[in-house]
Amino acid sequence: MFRQNRIILFLLAVLFFSTYPSYGQAGKSMRLKISANQRFFTDNQGNPFFWLGDTGWLLFSKLNREDAAKYLEDRRQKGYNVIQVMVLHDVAAKNVYGDSALINKIVANPVVTPGNSFSDASQYDYWDHIDYVIDVAAQKGLYMALVPVWGTNVKNGWVRQDDAKTYAKFLTDRYKNKPNIIWLNGGDIKGSDSLNTWKVLGSTIRENDPNHLITFHPFGRTTSSQWFHNEAWLDFNMYQSGHRSYDLGTSAGEHKFGPDNYKFANIDYNLEPTKPTLDGEPSYELIPYGLHDTTKPYWNANDVRRYAYWSVFAGAAGHTYGHNSVMQMHKPTDTVSSFGSKKYWYDALNDTGATQMVHMKSLMLSKPYFERVPDQSLIGSEQGEKYEYLVATRSKDYAFVYTYTGKEFEVNMGKIAGQKVKASWYNPRDGKKTVIGTFDNKGVRSFGPPWQPKEGNDWVLILENIK
């Protein structure tokens, strides 16, 4: 029966690839680059690439081919373009077909079988399965941001430096010619934990793969720039603002920012040399405050929207969304769920926050992109603290101001060009834009968002130069 299922899925895969553009066609324009001003990403033609990521951490190990394709298609349809995933969750990793990744849990010794026929179980191995998923993603225009080995494995001494170098060479030899690869060194770990091993992985990946972007996925409430900003292999910074609420403390070496993820963007934005930055792991939708205590409240769609607009308006080059059940691909066959997951991954795909992230991407790409800068001088009133914080960004011809609570606020006019400006409200929940009116572009003006002020009544004020 297992072999019959493999054959059926093989035939479905043939049908799938016959209905999509060829792999070569998909790959010709997929290489990502850093923009000329070093702040953002571009595609191979120099067009803006707004990183909208999803954390599908356990995709390779927990989903079969059919479910992987369903997940990727869902994320494509919802506007996501980057999937963050672990190559090795741990050194004992096996996939859904029972294939082990490594011999004797040694990263320098991957289990590789001759051939890659899915209809022949003796040929189809752990790495062939990863190949398949990466290729399906490429067909859909999705980038796979690969974490070579999750950080705890290195911290616990299971990855020696010389083995790390051999493993990084194996990975890059296998995937450097795939068009849709991004490398995420690290994996929920402080760079100071096994610092030299992370440097070996980063430098070896860069030496063997000069064409794909590399960053470092750090521990909660830290940013890659704390350890690696000046490393030649680090193309852009990534921070993990983490899952703790304002009332939860931090550990040594972590920034005491709480949910204020825009503060990480502020740090990285002002560093030299200039490099893009983004929040690669804010609080997940439907995960408890602080992760482990399931009696605490769970972060919701309002929270994931706030994280997204705060960080992007502060200068981030994109944003990664996450859902508790999706990141762990929680499914009925699991004997336990982590962090109080209450849904199966396929039901969680359509949760509110997941469907709303595309509206931020659409807004950011609706205006000239590369000239955008963060500018808090737009705020004429108090910028606010915690959930009351207002964040602003602009170019020479437009400005955006985000409020999470929907309280009336003041704007210093004249920060963009034009004697008059058109003002509109943009709704982050549905992406609809409502024109307020035309105003003189001078002095200080108050704007009151629709509805009554409260947490989650978030809006973006749009000001546009009337030419």
Please classify residue 230 by burial: count the beta carbons closer than 10 Å to its beta carbon, then call 0-12 exposed, 13-18 middle and 19+ buried.
Answer: exposed
Which fold would CATH assign to domain 375-465?
Immunoglobulin-like (2.60.40)
Q: Which residue has the tokens 């439907």?
A: 286
What's the pLDDT at 467?
81
Spatial distance between the Cα atoms of 253 and 260, rounded to a whole number of angstroms? 17
Spatial distance between the Cα atoms of 269 and 17, rounded to a whole number of angstroms? 41
What's the pLDDT at 270?
98
Residue 454 has pLDDT above 50, yes or no: yes
Residue 14 has pLDDT above 50, yes or no: no
Secondary structure (3-state) at 1: coil
Residue 7 has pLDDT above 80, yes or no: no
Going from the C-alpha of 154 to that of each of 54, 150, 187, 190, 212, the distances in angstroms are 24, 7, 10, 11, 23
- Nearest in space to 225 (alpha carbons), one of 187, 153, 276, 287: 276
* pTM for the model: 0.94
Residue 21 has pLDDT above 50, yes or no: no
Mean pLDDT across the chain: 94
- Asked whether 71 and 56 are in contact (CB, 8 A), the reply is yes
Residue 9 has pLDDT above 60, yes or no: no
Residue 348 has pLDDT above 50, yes or no: yes
Q: Where in the chain is the domain with CATH 2.60.40?
A: 375-465
pLDDT in tens, 287-343: 999 999 999 999 999 999 999 999 999 999 999 999 999 999 999 999 988 999 999
- Nearest in space to 7 (alpha carbons), one of 155, 121, 84, 141: 121
- Asked whether 77 and 354 are in contact (CB, 8 A), the reply is no
Secondary structure (DSSP) of 44-92: TTS-EE-EEEEE-TTHHHH--HHHHHHHHHHHHHTT--EEEEES-SSTT
53-67 average pLDDT score: 98
- pLDDT range class, residue 28, cuts 50, 70, 90: low
Q: Which residue has the tokens 């000001």?
A: 463
235-247 average pLDDT score: 97
235-255 average pLDDT score: 94
What's the pLDDT at 27?
52
- Nearest in space to 218 (alpha carbons), one of 130, 142, 281: 281
Going from the C-alpha of 185 to that of each of 90, 216, 427, the distances in angstroms are 15, 4, 36
- pLDDT range class, residue 381, cuts 50, 70, 90: confident
Secondary structure (DSSP) of 171-212: HHHHHTT-TTEEEEEEEEE-TTTTHHHHHHHHHHHHHH-TTS
- Asked whether 60 and 130 are in contact (CB, 8 A), the reply is yes
Percent of the chain with pLDDT over 70: 94
pLDDT in tens, 171-205: 999 999 999 999 999 999 999 999 999 999 999 99
Q: Which amino acid is present at 446?
A: S
What's the pLDDT at 119?
95
- pLDDT range class, residue 17, cuts 50, 70, 90: very low
CA angle 211–73–114, rounded 5-degree value: 60
Residue 12 has pLDDT above 70, yes or no: no
Q: Where in the chain is the domain with CATH 3.20.20.80?
A: 2-363
Residue 438 has pLDDT above 80, yes or no: yes
- Asked whether 143 and 182 are in contact (CB, 8 A), the reply is yes
6-26 average pLDDT score: 42
> What's the CATH code, domain 2-363?
3.20.20.80
pLDDT in tens, 87-138: 999 999 999 999 999 999 999 999 999 999 999 999 999 999 999 999 999 9
Q: How far is CA 61 from the centre of its chain?
A: 19
